[in-house]
Amino acid sequence: MVIGYLRVSTGKQNLANQQNEIRRFADSKDFVIDSWVTEVVSGRKRERDRKLGTLLKRMKPGDTLIVAKLDRIARSVKGGIEIIDSLLAKDVSVNILNMGLMNNTSTGKLIRNVMLAFAEFERDMIVERTKEGK
């Protein structure tokens, strides 16, 4: 089963760009997207546990999760590591289009953790600037 995961933070944002990126990738690899999971919720909110948590629980060995960008699946280092490691442990392929296929090699973990740190930093800066603007 191949699942496309899409997330935006607010209803004003558009899921179409992510969906188009995933479709183009899937077409180039002759994948058929069996299911789409979409969420309109901040990457840091616990409400994500409903849809994302359900998705993570239902994925089985041999499944593939495709996400357009790393920050769509997690906005914190801890959360990203937990999500990706749990999927890899279940033998689920995780393909983050702006990074490639995730793996548990030393280099793969390093790159993933550095990029997750940047995603968390970016989120923190957005929050900080928003507070300053109020």
9 is catalytic: yes
Please tell me the distance from the alpha carbon of residue 85 to that of residue 79, in angstroms, as a whole number: 10
- The rounded radius of gyration (Å) of the Cα atoms in the chain is 15
How many C-beta neighbours within 10 Å does residue 103 have?
A: 15
Active-site choice (9, 42, 76, 93)? 9
- Separation in Å, CA 108 to CA 101, 103, 111, 115, 127: 9, 6, 5, 11, 29
Catalytic machinery residues: 9
